[in-house]
């Protein structure tokens, strides 16, 4: 498997598309793949439809962190489960998965940041996570420099993996479990009978099914809105780069307010801004100003606002909002492939060099960007929709790769009406309409 995954990448899962299934899953990112896998494990006949290629969008473009550290308190139990599942997959695939429990470090630029790290420790302890604070001397011993950091936080059991390798491997596992994965097959609309799900209309034909899961990442809002289901999801552009091979500073991942890095299997690093991102203003953005005010106040200075999204993006001004059963926006743009912000990445190179002068300014081998599906409170929607038979797993806010196996297992049980083992009230869709005061979760990816 090569990166970036693109429409030039061979179709590995051509179908054929069956006429009927128990469940249809929309979206071939890690959430969709893992949901389909656990449904099949439970004996369900599952079809997964991906408009482009498995992991072609954010599931292969993320930082590659698998972390429990710093998680929202309601996500933490699920990601602890996900870590156990990742360990099991690592036993199945061996070194090919790229899974390594090499630790994650947060580096505090200010005393206020360090205090926030301390606030996480009781949650970690309650969930059996080995997080602890670090002094400046401990950071210097670990990284070879303290670089002005006030202190830090480390979770040695946290992990990393290569997303563009791992997610396709997990898709292979889903196929072995009985999932029918069909790439280059956009779902255009739901087939509704008497107001309930009866199947989906795809570009390759109708699939009858009484249950559908929308796990479409940045595309979920557009698909759901066409059926009258409103979710306040938006997307932000996150830029990432791969460096040329460099000496190892730390085998895991680390971040401060300005830059983040993760050791790669190829001997380089994935580097990214610690908090900067780009945001395209479109029709959905205008409609969602009010619920996003709390997080905007928090992130305003780190957000680069752009007035026009590229043609065909989910919230572009010219993107169709209604298309019936005809050709859809999902066929017009099968893989979101935004251009990275090179200016932002240049600053990341400078920050890296300033922190680690012995290594110097990293040379970029390649750079890319992904569109992260976000929610106003920085936690996902994991819930049934108002349409009977329709369920939603979206708005992962950049956390989907690490939590994917756990959330996929949860989603499968939710779809089947079985106990999920976790309190999902925080992730209900109605929190945006029932008067619940917003509680913004931690934003670091």
Q: Radius of gyration of the chain from Cα atoms?
A: 21
**Of 196, 170, 180, 185, the residue nearest 51 (C-alpha):** 185
Contact predicate 142/162, CB 8 Å: no
What's 23-103+157-432's CATH class?
alpha beta
Write out residues in the chain with pLDDT < 70, as ranges.
1-2, 298-301, 443-445
Question: Helix %, strand %, coil % for the chain, to 5?
Answer: 35, 25, 45
The two beta strands, 364-374 and 303-306, are unpaired
Which tokens is 124 given? 């970690």
**Of 287, 309, 312, 275, the residue nearest 63 (C-alpha):** 275
pTM, rounded to two decimals: 0.97
Residue labelled with tokens 């670990």: 142
**Quick one: pLDDT at residue 293?**
80
Residue labelled with tokens 């005061």: 437
The two beta strands, 364-374 and 269-273, are unpaired
Long-range contacts made by residues 197-202, C-beta under 8 angstroms, separation at least 24? 197/387, 197/388, 197/389, 197/390, 198/389, 199/20, 199/24, 200/24, 200/26, 200/49, 201/325, 202/17, 202/49
Peptide bond into 379 cis (omega under 30): no
Which tokens is 225 given? 């809105």
Q: Which residues contact 178 (CB under 8 A, 6 or more apart)?
A: 40, 45, 46
Contact predicate 325/205, CB 8 Å: no
**Quick one: pLDDT at residue 2?**
65
**Quick one: pLDDT at residue 300?**
64
What are the extents of the domains in the chain? 23-103+157-432, 104-156
Helix (H) or strand (E) holding 93: helix 76-93
Beta bridge partners, 435, equal: none
**Of 73, 57, 78, the residue nearest 402 (C-alpha):** 78
**Quick one: pLDDT at residue 444?**
55
**What phi, psi does 213 have (nearest 5°)?**
-115, 125
- CA 142/CA 251 separation, integer angstroms: 10
**Quick one: pLDDT at residue 413?**
98
- CA 317/CA 311 separation, integer angstroms: 8
């Amino acid at each position: 498997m090569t990166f970036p995954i693109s429409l030039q990448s061979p179709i590995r899962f051509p179908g054929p598309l069956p006429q009927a299934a128990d469940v249809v899953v929309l979206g071939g990112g890690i959430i969709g793949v893992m949901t389909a896998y656990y449904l099949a494990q439970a004996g369900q006949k599952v079809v997964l439809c991906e408009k482009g290629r498995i992991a072609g969008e954010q599931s292969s473009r993320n930082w590659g962190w698998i972390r429990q550290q710093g998680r929202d308190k309601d996500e933490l139990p699920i990601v602890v489960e996900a870590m156990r599942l990742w360990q099991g997959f690592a036993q199945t695939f061996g070194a090919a998965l790229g899974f390594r429990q090499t630790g994650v470090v947060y580096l505090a630029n200010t005393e206020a940041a360090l205090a926030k790290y301390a606030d996480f420790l009781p949650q970690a302890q309650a969930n059996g996570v080995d997080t602890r604070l670090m002094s400046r001397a401990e950071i210097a011993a670990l990284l070879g420099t303290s670089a002005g950091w006030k202190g830090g936080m480390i979770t040695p059991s946290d992990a990393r993996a290569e997303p563009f390798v791992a997610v396709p491997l997990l898709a292979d596992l889903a196929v072995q479990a009985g999932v029918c994965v069909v790439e280059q097959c956009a779902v255009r609309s739901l087939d509704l009978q008497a107001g309930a799900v009866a199947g989906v209309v795809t570009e390759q034909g109708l699939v009858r099914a009484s249950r559908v899961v929308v796990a479409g990442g940045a595309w979920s809002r557009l698909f759901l809105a066409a059926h009258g289901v409103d979710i306040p999801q938006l997307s932000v552009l996150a830029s990432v780069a791969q460096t040329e091979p460099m000496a190892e500073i730390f085998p895991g991942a680390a971040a401060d307010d300005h830059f983040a890095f993760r050791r790669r299997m190829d001997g380089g690093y994935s580097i990214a801004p610690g908090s900067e991102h780009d945001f395209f203003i479109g029709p959905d953005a205008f409609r969602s100003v009010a619920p996003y005010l709390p997080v905007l106040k928090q992130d305003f200075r780190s957000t680069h606002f752009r007035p026009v999204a590229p043609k065909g993006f989910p919230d572009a001004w010219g993107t169709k909002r209604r298309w019936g059963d005809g050709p859809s926006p999902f066929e017009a743009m099968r893989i979101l492939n935004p251009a990275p912000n090179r200016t932002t990445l240049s600053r990341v190179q400078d920050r890296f060099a300033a922190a680690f002068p012995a290594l110097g300014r990293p040379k970029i081998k390649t750079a890319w960007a992904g569109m992260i599906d976000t929610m106003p409170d920085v936690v996902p929607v994991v819930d049934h929709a108002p349409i009977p038979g329709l369920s939603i797993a979206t708005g992962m806010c950049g956390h989907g790769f690490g939590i994917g196996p756990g959330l996929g297992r949860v989603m499968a049980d939710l779809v089947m009406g079985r106990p999920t083992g976790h309190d999902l009230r925080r992730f209900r869709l109605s929190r945006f309409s029932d008067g619940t005061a917003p509680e913004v979760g931690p934003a670091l990816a």
